[in-house]
Amino acid sequence: MLIALAATVSASPALAAAGKPFFSLENTDFVVTLGFLVFIGILLYFKVPSLLGGLLDKRAEGIKAELDEARALRDEAQTLLAGYERKQKEVQEQSERIIAAAKQEAAEAAEQAKLDLKASIKRRLKAAEDQIASAEANAIRDVRNEAIRIAVAAATDVIAKNMTAADGNKLIDDAIGQVDAKLH
């Protein structure tokens, strides 16, 4: 303000209108300078510069608060990001452990399946061998029975041709005697 007043007073001879004194109301330069000084005085009287300074300070405080809030939000976001990255790493490690365990279990299951298959094959081979042995025994028994039947039939034919009635009655009496002796 003092600078403006000093500039006005020092420039007064240079700014004087042609033929009119500077400090006269007829000089427009003086009237404009006087109006400007009154305007500056009114602004100073109503403390407009301090109001403007206060508004600017308030705005600066608001901006500072917003910056602080933005920093806090950034810090919170970085904390959350670090937490999520840590969780992601943990989940990745856990999934790798699960995959490794699944592979191990699959290998063990495959090995157990091989062992079970071998045991099943052994049981089936044993069952097949038992069936073959049983079928062989049945075949041998059937052959013996057939041989015995044929032999009995042949012996019956031979005996029937060579035996007389007296020999037959004697054999019957001997058989009855043997049965009677064994029963008593």
* pLDDT at position 14 over 90: no
CB 35 within 8 Å of CB 74: no
Q: What is the mean pLDDT of residues 10-24?
A: 63
Radius of gyration of the chain (CA): 67
Among the residue ranges 126-130, 136-140, 171-175, the one predicted with the least confidence is 171-175
pTM of the model: 0.39
* pLDDT at position 24: 83
* pLDDT at position 27: 87
Query: What sign does the dihedral 175-177-180-181 (CA atoms) show?
Result: negative
> What count of other Cβ atoms lies within 10 Å of the Cβ of residue 37?
14
Q: What percent of the chain has pLDDT over 70?
A: 89
Instruction: Provide the pLDDT confidence category of residue 8 given band limits of 50, 70 and 90.
Output: low
* pLDDT at position 168 over 90: no
Q: Which residues contact 20 (CB under 8 A, 6 or more apart)?
A: 26, 27
Q: What is the mean pLDDT of residues 136-148?
A: 89
Report how far Cα 45 is from the mean position of its chain's Cα atoms: 73
Residue 34: burial class (beta carbons within 10 Å; 0-12, 13-18, 19+): middle
Whole-number average pLDDT of the chain: 87
Q: Which residues contact 15 (CB under 8 A, 6 or more apart)?
A: 22, 29, 33
Instruction: Provide the pLDDT confidence category of residue 73 given band limits of 50, 70 and 90.
Output: very high
CB 30 within 8 Å of CB 22: yes
Q: What is the mean pLDDT of residues 90-100?
A: 95
Among the residue ranges 29-43, 80-94, 156-170, the one predicted with the least confidence is 156-170
* pLDDT at position 160: 75
